[in-house]
Structure formats: structure tokens, C-alpha cells
Copies of this chain bind each other. A is one copy, B any other.
Amino acid sequence: MQRIPGGTGAYSESKGALVCREAVARFIARRDGVPCDVEDLFLTDGASPGVHYIMKALLRDKRDCVLTPIPQYPLYSATITLYGGTLLPYYLDEASGWGLDCEALRCCVEDARARGQRVRALCVINPGNPTGQCLSQGNQEEVVRLCAREGIVLLADEVYQDNVYAEGKRFTSFKSVASELGLLDQVPLVSFNSISKGAVGECGRRGGYFEMTGVDAAVKDQILKLASINLCPNVSGQICTALVCDPPQEGSPSHARYSAERKEILASLKRRAATITKALNALEGVSCNAAEGAMYVFPQLTLPPAAVAAATQIGKPADFFYCWRLLEATGITVVPGSGFGQRDGTWHFRTTFLPPESEMESVCQLITDFHARFMDEFR
């Protein structure tokens, strides 16, 4: 039995305790069928600190750009701003279930370069946050080829890898795609993962990691230097990350129970996603793509002009106004689409499907009743 030197009360290595990184490496190797080097792994307090390190390493000035999906989880816009770079938006296509258009991506890169900008990285969130889509393998291959050809660092936010609900879809890591294409050494790839998602959702423990492949050793040394400033990630979170990555395997006494619990949690999330999507699509002026994965749906709102005017009057975007009224009327918190970015002139909100399943119908009913009243008021 391996130990963490010093236990949970002492600093670990800045990358995380070796025994924990070994558990993560076994998980990745099992998942992808591709070896994982423990030295490519950095354990972190949740996924966010890793994004900080990488952005800090990538961004030198305003000319350095990161291609970022819109809508996006605002960790990316925040850290790009924080480290002085430029967010280069690429729009996910709502009409095709928030699909990624690689041709449009290529154009983005060319246009940016023509403007004198340097495209340093491409961020892909798969499954999507706030949009819930799962990329097709073809899409992923195009992304990997683009990054390899153009020398762009691929930032793969894969924190929802365990949350895939769509029939016939399964999570495929960018690492395994790169490996199958024979491009593992040609694509600078950083894959982020977290214990805040999946079937466990242990957000408060702040556990996560990132893996760097196709990245120069000297760059990895600099990232280690950055990580070392804060000594180490919290050791309990590291242990929890190791446990989440290395659950009871077939043949172990607790495997059956673990599998059953995990399966039921994910099945329940899938049912809840279907419930909320159906309810939202039944509302006047609301259209909502199915959640293929992650923990969110991101419905589009077509709001009456009077509602938009009322929002303008208080100096707020219309979707903020809608969400605020929903909160006031029902106590339900959803996040305005303007917090994630959206095509101009469209309004959305993000809702999780995390309320207990027993409450899901009543939550949907509250939203339905509110929506009808809201539309009556402003129609």
C-alpha cells in the first residue's frame, strides 16, 4: 500500500502526490487505451487553477488570442481578461444542437492572423457548458487536425466527460482522438478534469487535474514553477480525485454497489434533463436543445418587445430581466445568457437539471406558471 509522505497535513509535491497522480494516470490509460505519464499530470484545487496557469503561460499581450466558444463558461473570458489576452469568439450553432463548425473556426484563425493577432489556443468545452452538447468524433478530428496544422494549443475542457446522456453518444477524449490520428506529439493538448462534476459532484473538495501532451518539456517546467508558488493543491482534494478516478474495479467487493449507484445517479440526471427540456419546449417563445451531456440546458427566449423595453428601462439585458423576475416570483435561480455570451439579438438562460428528481416536476410547473404570467404581462 502506497502512502502520501507526510499524510494530509503536510505539503505534497506541487504537481500533487505521486500516488494520487498514479491513480489518475491509470484512469486515463484505461479510458483512452493510450499510456499516461504521471509527469504530464498536475493535480489542482478544482479545474480552475489549471486554466489560470495555462492562460498565464500562453498570454503575453493583447495580440495573443484564445479561440473561445460562445456561449462559454465564463472562466475562460475571466482568465483571458485577467492575463491580458484577447478572447476570439467562435459561435456554436444553436440550430444544429450547438454544433461546432470547423470551417468557421478556420476562418476565425485566418481573419485573426490577417489582423495581426496571434492565435495561441483553442478552447473546446466538451460536453458543453452551458450548452450541453457532445461533439461528434468527426468534429473532434477536425479540431485536432486544425490545431496540429496551425500550431495552436488545444485547451480541452473535459470536466463533464462522465455526464453523457444522448443515445448512441459516448465521451471521447481529445487525447484519444489525437492518438488515433497519430498526432499525439504534434498537438499541444491540455485536458482539464474535475471532481466537481460526474456522478460525484464533490465541488467543495476542490479536486481536479490537467494533463499536458505534445507540450515541450521546458514549457512544462515553467508551468510547474507557476504551480509551485502556491506550494500544493489541498491534499484531501487530491485523494478524492484519486478515488474518483480509480473507483472499485470489476472483481472488487464494492464494484457492484458502486456501479449501481453511479448508473442510477447518471440515469436520474438523464431523466431530469428530459423533463426540463420537454417543459421548456412547451413554453411560448422558448426553444431548447436536448442536453446530450453536462448538467445544463440553454433555452432560447423570444421575448415580447415590451419585456425588452422594460429591461432597457432598468439598464439591464432582457434575459437578465427575465431571470430576475423568475427569481423574484419563484425563488428559482437561472443564469442569463448574457453571462455566457450569445449571438446579438438572441436571449437565453442557463439552467441546471440538478434539483432532486422528486422536485423536478414542481420546479417545471413553477417555471411554466411564471412564464405564462410573464408573457401575459408583456405580450
Contact = CB atoms under 8 A, between A and B. Distances in A.
A225 to B, nearest CB: 8
Nearest to A228: B78
A10 B234 CA distance: 16
This chain: copies in complex = 2
Interface string A1-37: 0000011111110000000000000000000000000
Contact of A234 (B7, B12, B75, B237): B237
A52 B230 CA distance: 9
A221 to B, nearest CB: 15
A229 B10 contact: no
Interface stretch (A148-156, A198-206, A267-275): A198-206
Contact of A10 (B11, B52, B75, B203): B203
A204 B49 contact: no
Interface string A347-379: 000000000000000000000000000000000
B230 A8 contact: no
A237 B231 CA distance: 15
Contacts of A66: none
A206 B206 CA distance: 11
A48 interface: yes
A214 B368 CA distance: 48
B45 A234 contact: yes
A45 B203 contact: no
A140 interface: no
A7 B204 contact: yes
A232 B207 CA distance: 12
A122 B192 CA distance: 37
A306 interface: no
A7 B231 CA distance: 26
A60 to B, nearest CB: 11
Contacts of A8: 204-205
Nearest to A195: B9
B229 A78 contact: yes
Given A56-B82, A236-B236, A48 B204 contact: no
A235 interface: yes
Interface string A41-56: 0000110110010001
Contacts of A82: 56, 226, 229
B204 A235 contact: yes
Interface string A263-293: 0000000000000000000000000000000
15 contacts: A8-B205, A9-B204, A11-B196, A45-B45, A45-B230, A48-B229, A48-B231, A56-B82, A78-B229, A82-B229, A204-B232, A204-B235, A206-B231, A236-B236, A236-B237
